Amino acid sequence: MRTDLLADRHIGIQEADLPVMLKRIGVSSLDELIDKIIPENIRLKDPLSLPEPMTEREFTEHIAQLATQNKLYTSYIGLGWYDTITPAVIQRNVFENPVWYTSYTPYQTEISQGRLEALLNFQTVVSDLTAMPLANCSLLDEATSAAEAMTMMHSLRSRTQQKAGANTLFVDENVFPQIIAVLSTRAIPQGINLVFGNYKTFEFTPDVFGCIIQYPNSDGSVENYKSFVEKAHHSECKVAVAADILSLALLTPPGEWDADIVFGSTQRLGIPLFYGGPSAAYFATREEFKRQMPGRIIGKSKDKYGKVCYRMALQTREQHIKRERATSNICTAQALLAVMAGFYAVYHGPEGIKTIAERIHSIAVLLNQTLTHLGYKQRNEDFFDTLRFSLPETVTAQELRTIALSKEVNLRYFDNGDVGLSIDETTNMKDVNQLIAIFSIAAEKEVQEVTDVPFVSYKGALCRKSAYLTHEVFRKYHTETEMMRYIKRLERKDISLAHSMISLGSCTMKCNPAVEMIALSNLGWMGMHPLVPIDQAQGYQTLIHNLAEQLKVITGFSGITFQPNSGAAGEYTGLRIIRSYLEHIGQSHRNIILIPASAHGTNPASAVQCGFTTLTCACDEKGNVDVEDLKKKAEENKENLAALMITYPSTHGIFEPEIKKICEIIHSCGAQVYMDGANMNGQVGLTSPGYIGADVCHLNLHKTFSSPHGGGGPGVGPVCVSEHLVPFLPGHSLFGDSTNEVAAAPYGSAGILPIAYGYISMLGAEGLTKATKIAILSSNYLAACLKDTYGIVYTGATGYVGHEMILDCRNLHEDVGFSEADIAKRLMDYGYHAPTLSFPVHGTLMIEPTESESLAELNNFVDVMECIWKEIQEVKNGQANKDDNVLINAPHPEYEVVANEWNHCYSREKAVYPIQSVRDNKFWINVARVDDAWGDRNLITTLYGEIN
């Protein structure tokens, strides 16, 4: 392989390492190993038909050239997306910083304190601005948050309403169209009836369980919903409000007029447009609804010595654990973007946020006055940033559009001929005068150039009077020096891929090459509104087309959508496509989804969300799907079977030898095969879902294709389908077809597509295939090294594992009283993030080393695991105290180790410097083992809550 290609830098195992690894595994060559692991009947006969790989320099030039094809007109389209200014100190130190973008979801609390604090900042911002007591730490986007609000209100129905079959949701007609489209997709499978209309004239009936309204509404009007909310509550209906987060700096927040749920986007808080995403949605509600709220909640707690710390609260709400009992299929969030939005609020503080909002409103007031003077009639009596004009008889929308485009300006054009514009943080005096010129030319009237924007405070009836962002964190870091140091202080509390291998099984925490990440900071990718005319987004369109063709080759499918914002959203989308197809062919009665016990955890949750009934089929003692059980259940439910959802390779870490037969069984029953692509890192270049026989597959670009995990998001979950399913891929209202729309933006989180595109373009067919082989090699190497101590739970038919494997820790509890959690905590002392705990098998650790770790790192991890094994044996043999040892006391925080007193019966050195590699590169931990139970009993989700 050429040494000037990315593969040589990305793949951690070198040619010289192969003999050592292969010998330990017990095979003579890498190809022999692959032949033993992947069934011959699913192996691709030819290499992937992809273009020759680019060098890093060639890709850098190529992606920059594509960016120049995006015409960055000034857009006043609004509709939930607004240009904003990302503070350079945040862009440089968070968005472009691998410590922040390569970290994992903060399940391992003690080594995630920096991110957890940053996310608690975000929750505090949301709670303060919405005046709601409880906020989560982000959802995928505004439209899917609306769908989550709908589902939550449905689950909150009283027993009387449930018994009466109350299933109607009222949606005001002036809610954003993309929200309406996603609600329409999500409502029908859940048995929810949507009714649209004007909130002013809507009459509540017993079958209505909830309502969704927009504040300010889609036209830009600030409506007073107080009496409507009172009527709703009098009728036992919940009210969810889609609210512009920045407007709440000036407007009375929904929490103060008794809303039950408030949701929306925080994109305005310093997150680039990115052609529609990623950006962090927010979701806030009443405290009494905490058990029903979707997504993750960060809360305060204390460690074993009483020190205040942060953790993911109420973790039992994680949907992949609940499986078919889940109330949502949310698996990831938008953590990185939520962190950035939180830091934006910290950097600007309450005065800065208010000043930004007031300046936006002042410009809108000035334009309203000026354009009204020119003969345009503004339809919003009360507004924040958005104006809607009826045109004079002498002016047409087409004429105005032509003039605006000639000046590289995009306005919003309504179906009835009205024209709208939304002001944002970036609008300056030049922009103001350009807008005035556009409207004056169209009206054929002259107007004097404006030299300044007079400050105008918001004077509407809904003027906010309550304070917000009063915590000291929002008052201390307003200089770049202080902000930089604050970010760095939090960064030092987190383990990421910048520190060591993160060996989480099924999560594929591989290297995110810098050459791919750099492209995201190009303004050509950052500054594009998602609803601009297609001809202005040719760079994005070319990139999306090229990436689509690459992924179709890799998966063996005919069609693809990039709309889903996460893997779980991709699961839902794939099932929605199947449902649409079945309806089209007159088979809508098919409602059963067969799911093996070895499938990915969100599969059952996604199936239920899509209105299906799930049926679990068994696995045998080797971890394979029990084909006879599957066949029996498929045939018993033949008339009603809609699909099989199967993860391949399975979460048991093996390649099912009978996978083709399994697909044939399902197809013979007239059903479809949905393949969960979470483990595509074990397939690329060697086999493919389409070749195996699947009909649908979602991909996790933040796993297999090297997009960063971001501490819990952003994710992208594109869905690939066979030819017969292509007509049912999600559309979008932008293209005049909102069928199966599953996200707010036409291409979901388009802003991070350059990463996966770069990964494929620079690795090429040979590099991608080698990456898969090395991932499998590394997994088997670790299995060979650790099987004689811990033991491996499942191996394939020939005794080998796939690209991941499950380490058995179940006997330790019986033998010594230790759990896999104790091993996870002790790994922190050695500078490692734990593997996946107790999933998919309780009492185990699931490990996936990926292709990007070196042999030296693998060997160090083996040394660490063997050292921990010896520490376990010391307790078992009586050499160490059963009640006071390094495992049950792990992790050992810095403040404990440097204290004057040391109250353990083992040395400080054994606690924190157990081996030389740790002495050479110590990661100091900030807190001791966290008291999870205390944090759940005392839920504190903002900065203000005190711990006694």
Report the alpha-carbon distance of residue 355 to residue 522 in Å, rounded.
Answer: 28
* Angle (CA) 912 915 920, round 5°: 80
Taking CA atoms, 944 is separated from 110, 127, 477, 761, in Å, by 21, 11, 18, 48
| CB proximity list for 55: less than 8 A, separation 6 or greater | 4, 5, 6, 762
Number of other CB atoms surrounding residue 197 within 10 Å = 12
Q: Is the pLDDT of residue 324 over 70?
A: no
Helices (H) and strands (E) in the chain, counts: 33, 25
Please state the rounded mean pLDDT for residues 420-433: 98
Report the alpha-carbon distance of residue 423 to residue 414 in Å, rounded.
Answer: 17
In 605-668, DSSP assigns E strands to 613-617, 641-647
Number of other CB atoms surrounding residue 143 within 10 Å = 29
pLDDT tens digits, residue range 77-112?
999 999 999 999 999 999 999 999 999 999 999 999
pTM: 0.97
Number of other CB atoms surrounding residue 616 within 10 Å = 16
Q: Is the pLDDT of residue 330 over 80?
A: no
pLDDT tens digits, residue range 278-294?
999 999 999 999 989 99
pLDDT at position 321: 56
Q: Closest by alpha carbon to 344, among 111, 126, 514, 518?
A: 126
Q: Closest by alpha carbon to 436, among 514, 371, 526, 340?
A: 371
pLDDT at position 239: 98
Taking CA atoms, 637 is separated from 378, 590, 626, 630, 669, in Å, by 60, 9, 17, 11, 8
pLDDT at position 736: 82
Please state the rounded mean pLDDT for residues 644-664: 94
Q: Closest by alpha carbon to 414, among 80, 171, 79?
A: 79
Q: Closest by alpha carbon to 296, among 125, 112, 129, 107?
A: 107
Q: Is the pLDDT of residue 75 over 60?
A: yes
Q: Is the pLDDT of residue 364 over 90?
A: yes
Segment among 272-286, 444-458, 467-481, 527-541 with least mean pLDDT: 444-458
Q: Is the pLDDT of residue 390 over 50?
A: yes
DSSP annotation string for 722-745: -GGGGGGS--BGGGTB-TT--SSS
Structure-block tokens of residue 932: 């999870």
Amino acid at 429: M
pLDDT tens digits, residue range 169-215?
999 999 999 999 999 999 988 899 999 999 999 999 999 999 999 99
pLDDT at position 315: 58
Coil, helix or strand for 298?
strand
Is residue 571 within 8 Å of 717, Cβ to Cβ?
yes
Q: What is the band of 316 on the pLDDT scale with cuts at 50, 70, 90?
A: very low
Amino acid at 559: G
pLDDT at position 533: 96
| CB proximity list for 654: less than 8 A, separation 6 or greater | 622, 623, 624, 794, 795, 796, 801, 802
Segment among 482-486, 677-681, 888-892 with least mean pLDDT: 677-681
Report the alpha-carbon distance of residue 620 to residue 604 in Å, rounded.
Answer: 20
Please state the rounded mean pLDDT for residues 685-699: 98
**Phi, psi (degrees; rounded to nearest 5) at 91:** -60, -45
Structure-block tokens of residue 653: 């870490």
pLDDT tens digits, residue range 331-352?
778 999 999 999 999 999 999 9
Contacts of 548-554 spanning 24+ positions with Cβ under 8 A: 550/50, 550/757, 550/760, 550/761, 551/699, 551/718, 551/720, 551/760, 552/720, 553/48, 553/49, 553/50, 554/48, 554/50, 554/684, 554/685, 554/688, 554/760, 554/768
pLDDT tens digits, residue range 542-600?
999 999 999 999 999 999 999 999 998 999 999 999 999 999 999 999 999 999 987 77
Which DSSP symbol is given to 420?
Answer: E
Q: Closest by alpha carbon to 500, among 792, 130, 37, 918?
A: 918
Report the alpha-carbon distance of residue 375 to residue 394 in Å, rounded.
Answer: 10
Structure-block tokens of residue 833: 């993030």
Structure-block tokens of residue 431: 């922009």
Is residue 173 within 8 Å of 196, Cβ to Cβ?
yes
Please state the rounded mean pLDDT for residues 223-227: 98
Q: pLDDT higher for 715 or 168?
A: 168
Which DSSP symbol is given to 537?
Answer: B
Is residue 830 within 8 Å of 918, Cβ to Cβ?
yes
**Phi, psi (degrees; rounded to nearest 5) at 135:** -130, 150
Structure-block tokens of residue 30: 């890498």
